[in-house]
């Protein structure tokens, strides 16, 4: 079973705030889906690099 981004957004918003996501949040996720090429998933933020000293 495949879970869509909107379903994940809905779950996380209800988990954190107790409310469903706003229309703005849903539209943002849907616009990200339509801008992806060939199903690529793009990172929206970079992971920090850690160095051991």
Q: Is 46 a domain residue?
A: no
Its pTM surpasses 0.85: no
Q: Is 20 a domain residue?
A: yes
pLDDT tens for 24-39 read: 999 998 888 777 654 5
For residue 19, what are its two tokens?
Answer: 């409310």
Looking at the 3D structure of the chain, how many domains does it have? 1
Q: Is 21 a domain residue?
A: yes
Q: Is 45 a domain residue?
A: no
For residue 51, what are its two tokens?
Answer: 């160095």
Residues 6+ apart with CB under 8 A from 25: 9, 13
pLDDT tens for 3-12 read: 889 999 999 9
DSSP 9-52: HHHHHHHHHSSPPPHHHHHHHHHHHHH-STT----SSPPPP---
Q: Is 17 a domain residue?
A: yes
Q: Is 47 a domain residue?
A: no
Question: Which residue segment(s) compose the domain that 18 sits in?
Answer: 5-34
Q: Is 44 a domain residue?
A: no
Q: Is 49 a domain residue?
A: no
């Amino acid at each position: 079973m495949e879970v869509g981004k909107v379903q994940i957004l809905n779950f996380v918003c209800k988990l954190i705030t107790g409310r469903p996501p706003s229309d703005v949040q849903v539209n943002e996720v849907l616009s990200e889906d339509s801008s992806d090429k060939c199903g690529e998933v793009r990172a929206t933020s970079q992971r920090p690099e850690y160095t051991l000293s």
